Amino acid sequence: MSAADWYAHKSLGDGLFWIQERFYQSENRANIWLLRGTHQDVVIDTGLGLRSLPEYIDANGLLGKDPQRKNPLLAIATHAHFDHSGGLHQFQQVGVHTAEVDALANGDNFETVTWLSDREIAVAPSPGWRARHYKVKAVQPTHILQEGDVINLGDRQLTVLHMPGHSRGSICLHDRDNKLLFSGDVVYDGAMIDWLPYSQVSDYVSSCERLIGLVDSEQVDQVLPGHYNTFGAKRLHRLSSAYISRAGTCPAKFSTLVWRTLSGWALRASNPRCAC
């Protein structure tokens, strides 16, 4: 299967594109965001990497044909989990938070929580392909990101907000001038997951409090999340507040403990060579 068949995209205007993997039919299917700038273009999260994302972007002319654009496309992972980082190895420039650099450089499929089944892939990307053979390929990040870093695209800037909880290196990218928040898996319009390896509930609560602060200070109008559909500031406030209220309850604590134990066991069994 070609890259042209594997992906599909939608233009949201103002140099912003929403890309998805058509045949990865799972709740884990991540949104891929492509944002054009006058001097630098960035792709935020890269999906599984089963087909060439750069090839698809180029073939569809998503970056235009401006000869002044000399900087290679920068691929940033909002965090290291497999559904967001699997395609990073296809890019010359790769950015990730400093806390997850080693996970990517070592191809640690435990920390990237690599868990894929044949039933999630509606059409195999190549003859004989099987999910059990899928692994996140090691990649050495060229851009090691930290809180407060600014990614300059020329006509717009993205500020790195370190928002741990879902994973230790989770980030949001905030376009302050346009009040856009690329939130990765820190928040999306669904159940927020805090029971994976390196998840931390107390950190997640602090991150949600920070998200509420962004809404209260009117710094966010639209959220472009790692999964599902986009939403606005009021929904961001409700989702963040709901997590904080739920996180401290006994049922939530027990559920998190059970799921963390089960997920750790399953990931160790499926990734026996990981250093965990």
- Is 260 inside any structural domain? no
Considering only CA atoms, which of 110, 99, 77, 82 is closest in space to residue 263?
A: 110
Whole-model pTM over 0.75: yes
In a domain, 269, yes or no: no
- In a domain, residue 15? The reply is yes
CB neighbours of residue 179 within 10 Å:
14
- 72 falls within a domain: yes
Cα 86 from Cα 226, distance rounded (Å): 14
pLDDT of residue 72: 79
Give the other-Cβ count within 10 Å of 130's Cβ.
11
Angle, helices 233-247/201-216, rounded to nearest 10 degrees: 150
Cα separation, 137 vs 127, in Å, equals 20
270 in a domain, yes or no? Answer: no
Tell me if 263 is assigned to some domain: no
Looking at 153-237, which runs of residues are DSSP E strands? 157-162, 171-175, 180-184, 222-225, 231-232
- Name the residue range of residue 238's domain: 3-249
Does any domain span residue 167? Answer: yes
pLDDT at 64: 79
Does 268 map to a domain? Answer: no
Which of the residues in the chain have pLDDT under 70? 66-70, 248-276
d(CA 202, CA 205): 5
What is the DSSP pairing of strand 143-145 with strand 93-97?
parallel
Residue 156's CATH number: 3.60.15.10
Number of folded domains in the chain? Answer: 1
pLDDT at 158: 98
What are the backbone dihedrals phi and psi of residue 258, each rounded to the nearest 5 degrees, phi first? -65, -50
Question: Can you give the pLDDT at residue 275?
Answer: 42
